[in-house]
Amino acid sequence: MQFTLQLPLLGFESVTHMELQKIDDIFMRLESIGDGPSFTLINPYVLREYSFDIPTSLQAAMQINETSNLLIYAIVILNTSIEESTINFIAPLIFNTDNQTMAQIILDNRPDFTIAEPIRNYLKGGSNE
């Protein structure tokens, strides 16, 4: 499914359209349309308690209301071993599948989320068990 960015991705301000592709029930692939970046995404809700408020201005820009169909994903930085890969819980991506809009937001003042949380913490036998 293709999405139009309502706010630029940090570091990729020239990217305006991206395509979201399902890998499996947990992972997705996000690729820019044309030249640009691609990302592996993970559903953060399968890993941990994860909640935040979407700013009112972003709700308006993405036409989000109480009945909107939203997807929330976090960017994964893949390393050679999956255990060393990290998840960015601070800057989630929000997708409104009703109108194919998306945006990345930064969650300020959230000490419970980090920018590079090791995925090993969530694997069987990880430090969060």
92-102 confidence digits (pLDDT tens): 999 999 999 99
pLDDT at 73: 97
Give the Cα separation of 64 and 129 in Å (integer).
Answer: 35
The CATH homologous superfamily of the domain defined by 2-122:
BH3618-like (2.30.290.10)
Tokens of 117: 């949380």
Instruction: Name the pairing type of β-strands 27-32 and 101-104.
Output: unpaired
pLDDT band at 25 (very low <50, low <70, confident <90, very high): confident
Tokens of 91: 């800057």
Type of residue at 78: L
Percentage of the chain lying above the pLDDT 70 cut = 96
Handedness of CA 21, 10, 128, 124 (dihedral sign): positive
3-state secondary structure of 104: strand
Supply the pTM of this predicted model: 0.90
What average pLDDT does the segment 11-32 reach?
93
Domain limits, the chain: 2-122
Give the Cα separation of 48 and 114 in Å (integer).
Answer: 13
Phi, psi at 29, each rounded to 5°: -120, 130
35-54 confidence digits (pLDDT tens): 889 999 999 999 999 999 99
Tally of CB atoms within 10 A around 104: 19
